[in-house]
Amino acid sequence: MAITAGTATYQGNGPAESGQILATALSSESNRNLKGRCSVTGDGASSSFDCNYIDGTKTLSFTPTFVLCSRSGGAATGTISVVSCIPKSGSETKAFTVTTSANVNAATFIVSFEVGPEA
């Protein structure tokens, strides 16, 4: 069994279509970064899951050079933490993969993240 991929919700506006470029009034590189959350429900047998940037088929307008993430909530066992968070190989513009310190029990697990084209 595997944990079903979660889909991101964004702080402010996030992309909704492939290649969508979001305009901001500020010009620094960090303003191009997307910040959001991804929630999944564990299966008790898996310690990794994917988080879709949009829906798993639509793509970002850039290829991410970094993904920063940390656990930010959920009802899963409190001692489970994020070990790594990397763009999903072969579909870097569609999703990233989160690996946790233990199998996520059958409860919610929420990750907050930032992804961008330049670190």
Report pLDDT for 31. Answer: 66
Q: For residue 89, what pLDDT is reported? A: 79
Coil, strand or helix at 31: helix
CA-closest candidate to residue 116, choices 72, 68, 71 = 68
Measured in whole angstroms, the distance separating CA 31 from the mean position of its chain's CA atoms is: 18
Contact 35, 116 (CB under 8 A): no
pLDDT at 53: 94
E strand or H helix that includes residue 34: strand 34-41
Residue-range domains of the chain with CATH: 6-116 (2.60.40)
**Position 49, amino acid:** F
Please list the pLDDT of the chain residue by residue as tens digits (119 residues).
689 999 999 988 788 878 676 655 555 555 678 999 999 999 999 999 999 999 999 999 889 989 999 999 999 999 999 999 999 877 789 999 999 999 999 999 999 999 998 75
- Say how far apart CA 45 and CA 47 lie, in whole Å: 7
User: Per the structure block, which two tokens stand in for 35?
Assistant: 């910040």
